[in-house]
């Protein structure tokens, strides 16, 4: 539909007869202005879009609660002839509940579509509006409708729209001023935002004049706009959108390794990864506190802190915020923001100095001093060591307050040791320090202590053997008898043997007992008597004395001998053999008279 209000007065052609009268220019302009005001459209394209969801006929709305406009298209009423200007075949009436009907003059708005429009300034809220369309000739009712006018109020969009970065929440806050209407407390607002990489998103809020946008993707250009509607239980139409505002989203400081810390509680050091940032120009600012009166101050480079990109004084009486404005090499701008922090939450101690002493038995004694004496009781430590030249590490946790540690080593190994310090994350929070310088030591070989241990063991055994007879004599004697039993005295045994033999063969001896006659038994030794005649006719008798096994006391020291038997081939008249076999004979010589 062509918007008549867009037609400029200078473009209109005046009738030829008026030109010929040559009226003054002032009169012509007055007439043209009057004609333009008459031809001004009462229903705009924007109104049609806003009311596109209304299916009732006739369509009615209120503009800023000042006027009521009702309209319908010619094709929406059956039986309408669609007459043009000056040939209106409809009549329009309206009435609020419990009030009389009033007629409204109908005007025809021509364009791509022809609309019949009624406009009046009788606006009453919270009272049903009844509208009627009748045939003008027959007064026949063609359409009627009852509607709640507040649900069809076209409220203009908010103005003074602003988007500000909210440091505390790390998000953007959108603020605006509501339309200047007495019932603005009954409005609701829809905030819409989008970027070229994301679809449109909306947030609806009620009875407020600001909203906090959700987390946005970093470094994107976003558009934001707001519109207004009546806040009621039933759906209502939305007003036009406000003017758009643009913003560039903020990136998290973690994406570029942007970190601020203090190692002395007096200065704050800020660093970031330059290779990731890839910036042609950047500025770092900080401020104390979060109120609007706080001002951003530039963070300057300090030659005394070579490891810091910028340094600023630390304060413990308020929180601190830091932001980094960056212009990339391609000209793209962005903002990196570090969330507000307190000075006792960003402590990063210097690396401690590790001292190593090797003790006997392959034990290492480690000690160190606190890198920050002011908070030494709030610091904890970690010790790590490696036996494969730093390819793998074993970490040992040391509790807070400790400044020494002993570690057992494996023999014949080279150890690399390091230590670092960090806050205990309770009252003091922050980050681990860098690892200290490496300390290398080698453990002793296992064969070194073998010789001393063997020598010491030998000396202990020797001393115990020498001192045992004096300290525990009875135990020593028993132990000696067990280990070295006594040997028999051979001289004493022989004397005892001879004495026993002599006692057994003395008849007068008390120890001698005449044996009872028993059956003849084989004797080990027999006494034989042989009478021989010598040359001087003397009888020579050769006796042999049988030695019977004596019964003596020390029988345990003698072997058991089997009884000796004489060979049956030897007789009293047979000569004695030259030698004795398996017998023992004691020859005796007797002289026979």
Of 479, 591, 480, 456, give the one whose Cα is nearest residue 532.
591
pLDDT band at residue 78 using 50, 70 and 90 as cut-offs: low
Instruction: Please answer whether residues 432 and 382 qualify as being in contact, where contact means their C-beta atoms are separated by less than 8 angstroms.
Output: yes
pLDDT band at residue 168 using 50, 70 and 90 as cut-offs: low
Of 156, 158, 312, give the one whose Cα is nearest residue 237.
156
As a residue count, the chain comes to 593
| In-domain check, residue 264 | yes
| In-domain check, residue 592 | yes
461 CB-contact burial (10 Å; exposed 0-12 / middle 13-18 / buried 19+): exposed
Alpha-carbon distance of 240 to 585, in angstroms, equals 157
**Span 265-275, mean pLDDT?**
88
Arithmetic mean of pLDDT over the chain = 75
Q: Which two tokens stand for residue 398?
A: 């040391």
Domain boundary among 279, 314, 345: 345
Are both 218 and 297 inside the same structural domain?
no
318 CB-contact burial (10 Å; exposed 0-12 / middle 13-18 / buried 19+): middle
Alpha-carbon distance of 149 to 66, in angstroms, equals 12
Model confidence pLDDT, tens digit, residues 318-344: 889 888 888 766 666 778 887 788 999
Alpha-carbon distance of 198 to 222, in angstroms, equals 9
Number of domains in the chain: 7
Model confidence pLDDT, tens digit, residues 244-265: 998 888 877 777 888 899 999 9
Least confident of 181-185, 318-322, 389-393: 181-185
Q: What is the pLDDT of residue 90?
A: 87
Q: Taking 50 as the threshold, does the pLDDT of residue 591 lie above it? A: no
Are both 266 and 175 inside the same structural domain?
no
**Span 15-34, mean pLDDT?**
36
Are both 259 and 338 inside the same structural domain?
yes
Of 343, 350, 342, give the one whose Cα is nearest residue 379.
350
Instruction: Answer with the residue of higher pLDDT: 12 or 540.
Output: 540
Are both 13 and 70 inside the same structural domain?
no
pTM for the whole structure: 0.50
Q: Please count the other Cβ atoms lying within 10 Å of the Cβ belonging to residue 197.
A: 9
Are both 539 and 470 inside the same structural domain?
no
282 CB-contact burial (10 Å; exposed 0-12 / middle 13-18 / buried 19+): middle
Alpha-carbon distance of 56 to 144, in angstroms, equals 9
Angle at 437 between CA 434 and CA 442, to 5 degrees: 135
Which residues have C-beta within 8 Å of that of residue 210, sequence separation ≥ 6?
173, 174, 175, 176
| In-domain check, residue 470 | yes
Q: What is the pLDDT of residue 471?
A: 75
| In-domain check, residue 48 | no
**Rounded (10°) angle between helices 450-471 and 473-483:** 110
Instruction: Please answer whether residues 227 and 189 qualify as being in contact, where contact means their C-beta atoms are separated by less than 8 angstroms.
Output: yes
Are both 148 and 164 inside the same structural domain?
no
| In-domain check, residue 498 | no
Are both 242 and 256 inside the same structural domain?
no
Instruction: Please answer whether residues 147 and 131 qualify as being in contact, where contact means their C-beta atoms are separated by less than 8 angstroms.
Output: yes
pLDDT band at residue 8 using 50, 70 and 90 as cut-offs: very low
Alpha-carbon distance of 88 to 115, in angstroms, equals 11
Q: Taking 90 as the threshold, does the pLDDT of residue 223 lie above it? A: yes
Alpha-carbon distance of 242 to 29, in angstroms, equals 34
| In-domain check, residue 63 | yes
Are both 338 and 359 inside the same structural domain?
no
CATH code of the domain covering residue 380? 2.60.40.10
Are both 147 and 160 inside the same structural domain?
no
Q: What is the pLDDT of residue 515?
A: 52
Are both 8 and 61 inside the same structural domain?
no
| In-domain check, residue 517 | no
Which range in 257-261, 445-449, 462-466 is most confidently predicted, on average pLDDT? 257-261
Instruction: Please answer whether residues 488 and 556 qualify as being in contact, where contact means their C-beta atoms are separated by less than 8 angstroms.
Output: no
Helices then strands, counting H and E runs in the chain, come out as: 7, 34
| In-domain check, residue 403 | yes
Instruction: Please answer whether residues 223 and 252 qualify as being in contact, where contact means their C-beta atoms are separated by less than 8 angstroms.
Output: no
Instruction: Please answer whether residues 135 and 153 qualify as being in contact, where contact means their C-beta atoms are separated by less than 8 angstroms.
Output: no
Are both 138 and 166 inside the same structural domain?
no
Instruction: Please answer whether residues 242 and 176 qualify as being in contact, where contact means their C-beta atoms are separated by less than 8 angstroms.
Output: yes
Q: What is the pLDDT of residue 174?
A: 92
Domain boundary among 318, 345, 372: 345
DSSP assignment of 165-216: EETTTTEEEEEEE--S-TTGGGEEEEEEEEETTEEEEEEEEES-SEEE--PP
106-141 CB burial, b ≥16 within 10 A, e <16: bebbeeeebbbbbbeeebeeeeebebbbbbeeeeee
Find the domain containing 104 and state its range.
53-153
Are both 325 and 402 inside the same structural domain?
no
Alpha-carbon distance of 502 to 496, in angstroms, equals 10
Q: Could you identify the residue written with the tokens 């409204």?
A: 104
Domain boundary among 153, 172, 188: 153
Q: What is the pLDDT of residue 3?
A: 32
**Span 39-55, mean pLDDT?**
81
């Amino acid at each position: 539909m062509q918007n008549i209000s867009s037609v400029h007065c200078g473009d209109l052609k005046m009738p030829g007869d008026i030109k010929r009268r040559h009226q003054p220019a002032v009169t012509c302009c007055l007439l043209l202005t009057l004609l333009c005001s008459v031809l001004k459209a009462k229903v705009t394209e924007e109104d049609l879009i806003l009311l596109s969801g209304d299916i009732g006929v006739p369509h009615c709305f209120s503009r800023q609660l000042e006027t009521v406009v009702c309209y319908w298209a010619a094709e929406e009423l059956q039986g309408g002839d669609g007459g043009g200007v000056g040939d209106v075949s409809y009549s329009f009436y309206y009435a609020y509940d419990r009030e009389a009907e009033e007629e409204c003059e109908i005007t025809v708005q021509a364009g791509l579509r022809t609309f019949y429009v009624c406009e009046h300034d009788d606006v009453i809220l919270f009272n049903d509006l009844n509208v009627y369309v009748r045939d003008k000739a027959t007064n026949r009712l063609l359409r009627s409708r009852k509607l709640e006018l507040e649900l069809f109020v076209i409220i203009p969009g908010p103005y003074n729209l602003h988007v500000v970065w909210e440091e505390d929440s790390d998000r953007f806050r959108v603020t605006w001023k509501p339309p200047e209407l007495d019932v603005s407390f009954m409005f609701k607002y829809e905030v819409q935002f989008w970027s070229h990489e994301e679809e449109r998103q909306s947030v609806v809020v009620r009875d407020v004049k600001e909203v906090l946008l959700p987390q946005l993707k970093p470094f994107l250009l976003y558009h934001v706009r707001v519109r207004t509607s009546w806040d009621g239980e039933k759906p209502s139409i939305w007003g036009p959108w406000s003017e758009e505002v643009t913003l560039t989203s903020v990136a998290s400081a973690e994406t570029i390794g942007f970190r601020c810390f203090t190692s002395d509680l007096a200065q704050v050091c800020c660093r970031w990864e330059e290779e990731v940032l890839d910036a042609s120009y950047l500025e770092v600012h900080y401020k104390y506190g979060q109120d609007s009166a706080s001002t951003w101050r530039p963070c300057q480079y300090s030659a005394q802190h070579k490891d810091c990109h910028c340094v600023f004084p630390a304060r413990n009486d308020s929180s601190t915020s830091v932001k980094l404005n960056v212009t990339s090499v391609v000209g793209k701008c962005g903002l990196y923001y570090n969330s507000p922090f307190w000075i006792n939450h960003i402590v990063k101690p210097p690396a401690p100095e590790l001292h190593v002493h090797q003790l006997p038995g392959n034990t290492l004694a480690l000690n160190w001093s606190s890198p920050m004496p002011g908070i030494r009781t709030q610091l904890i430590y970690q010790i790590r060591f490696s036996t494969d030249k730093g390819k793998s590490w074993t970490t040992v946790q040391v509790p807070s307050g400790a400044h020494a540690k002993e570690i057992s080593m494996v023999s014949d190994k080279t150890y690399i040791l390091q230590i670092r310090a960090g806050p205990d994350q309770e009252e003091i929070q922050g980050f681990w320090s860098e690892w200290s310088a490496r300390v290398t030591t080698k453990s002793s070989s296992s064969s070194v202590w073998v010789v001393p241990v063997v020598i010491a063991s030998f000396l202990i055994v020797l001393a115990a053997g020498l001192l045992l007879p004096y300290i525990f004599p009875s135990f020593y004697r028993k132990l000696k008898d067990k280990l070295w039993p006594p040997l028999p005295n051979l001289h004493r045994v022989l004397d005892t043997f001879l004495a026993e033999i002599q006692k057994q063969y003395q008849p007068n001896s008390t120890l001698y007992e005449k044996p009872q006659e028993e059956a003849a038994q084989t004797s080990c030794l027999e006494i034989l008597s042989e009478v021989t005649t010598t040359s001087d006719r003397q009888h020579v008798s050769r006796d042999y004395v049988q030695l019977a096994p004596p019964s003596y006391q020390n029988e345990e020291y003698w072997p058991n001998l089997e009884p000796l038997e004489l060979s049956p081939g030897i007789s009293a008249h047979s000569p004695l053999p030259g030698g004795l076999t398996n017998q023992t004979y004691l020859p005796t010589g007797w002289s026979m008279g």
